[in-house]
Amino acid sequence: MSFSKTRTRITRTLAAVASVAALTFILLPAQAAAGLNIVATTSSLGALAREIGGDEAEVRVLAPPDRDAHYLDARPSFMAALRRADLLLEMGAGLEEGWLPAAQRGARNRAINSGQPGHFRAADKVELRRSITKDGPNMGHVHEEGNPHFNADPLRMAEIGLALGERMGELRPDHAEAFMERAEAAAERLREHAEKLAERVEPDQRIVVYHEDLDYLEEWLPVEIVGYLEPAPGIPPTARHLRSLVGDLEGTDGAVLYAVFQPERGAEFLERHLGWPTHAVRLDPPDEKALEGYLELMTTWAEALSQR
């Protein structure tokens, strides 16, 4: 079997494929230049992008807002959306590692490759809290970079908004000024709203959460996380762990917060044995809304705590 012959053949075929590729690229109608086509992994990022982009951006959110963004499939529809995107927004720090790399590769769109201006990784723009996943034994769910659930912190979201406004301006210089103005306004509203909500909450609140996905509430509300329903990140509550939580917290006051997609049984156990109120909260705002949706979500988090 002749090796060089095979190679020539492959080279020739590749050359043919390349010419077709080049031709198609030239002939494809140029994308509507005005609107920035943004794909965001979560609806928190989507809300920021909508607010900053206004009429100059089309925003599509991949993760359903009431689902755990850790565990999704790299769906064909995600790749179809990313194929046409000018800008991909991700939280990063491992939140989407189970599915986004596969979707990005499958999208065949260089503009959104890691390292390109069309790829925006929010975790790069803010300092992250240390993740508790680094404390326990390595059970395959370790966030080395830090806790990726910073969407629960409006102050960090404000910083991310500013960085995002700048990036969107780099991609569409014509609108750079408008993007930056809206980003600044959004940051201002986030900080004001956070301050206002924090003032209404009774000081020194204590909460138990399910996963480390609400830890960032500590950054802007007068609240302290005193326990997790999960014995280790990614492992559902065990009876033994819940009993030990009850033992530790007996006789104290607090509340239990968990995400709408998390099982309620652990929270109910604490409610029965400690008398603590439980609240199923959303982690991300409903899709299709701009900043307003995120501000309302902040309110639901704050109002799950005792009010002055």
Partner 1 sequence: MPNHTNLFRPALGGLTALALAVPASATAQQWETRAGDRNWGLDISLILEGIYYNELSHGISEPAGFDDGHDHGHGDGHDHGGFDDGFNLGHNELAFEANLGDLFDGFLMLGFDEDHLDVEEAYLTTRALPGGFQVKAGKFLSDIGYINSRHGHDWDFVDRPLVNEYLFGDHGLQETGVQATWLAPTATYTKLGVELLQGDNSFIPYQGSGGSHTTNAGDEIGSSFSDVSGPRLVTAFAKFGPDLGPDHAAQFGISGGYARTWQEETEHGSGLEEWDGDAWFAGLDAVYKYSSGRAYGHGDWRLQGEYFYREIDVDYQRREDQTTIAGNAQGSGKARQDGLYIQGVYGFAPRWEAGLRSEALGLTNRGLPTNEGSERNFAEPSFGTSYRHSAQITFRPVEPVFLRAQLSQNDFVDEDGDRDRGLEFMLQLNVALGAHGAHRF
Which residues of this protein are in contact with partner 1, per CB under 8 A? 1-2, 5-7, 9-11, 13-15, 17-18, 21-22, 24-25, 28, 64, 66-68, 71, 73-77, 79-81, 83-84, 97-103, 105-111, 113-117, 119, 121, 123-124, 139-141, 145, 234-236, 261-263
Q: CB-wise, 54 or 101, nearer to partner 1?
A: 101
Q: CB-wise, 74 or 178, nearer to partner 1?
A: 74
Q: Rounded to an integer, what is the distance from CA 293 to the centroid of its chain?
A: 15
Task: Kindly list the distances between the CA atom of residue 223 and the CA atoms of 127, 256, 263, in Å, as whole numbers in the listed order.
Answer: 20, 12, 23
Q: CB-wise, 139 or 202, nearer to partner 1?
A: 139
Q: Name the minimum Å distance from CB 152 to partner 1.
A: 18
Q: CB-wise, 122 or 221, nearer to partner 1?
A: 122
Q: Name the minimum Å distance from CB 171 to partner 1.
A: 11
Q: Name the minimum Å distance from CB 306 to partner 1.
A: 28
| Long-range pairs of 233-241 with CB within 8 A, sequence gap ≥ 24 | 233/131, 233/132, 233/133, 233/136, 233/139, 233/141, 234/139, 234/140, 234/141, 235/139, 236/263, 236/266, 237/210, 237/263, 237/265, 237/266, 237/269
How far apart (Å, rounded) are the C-alpha atoms in residues 43 and 290? 9
Residue type, 285: P
Q: Name the minimum Å distance from CB 203 to partner 1.
A: 33
Q: CB-wise, 62 or 197, nearer to partner 1?
A: 62
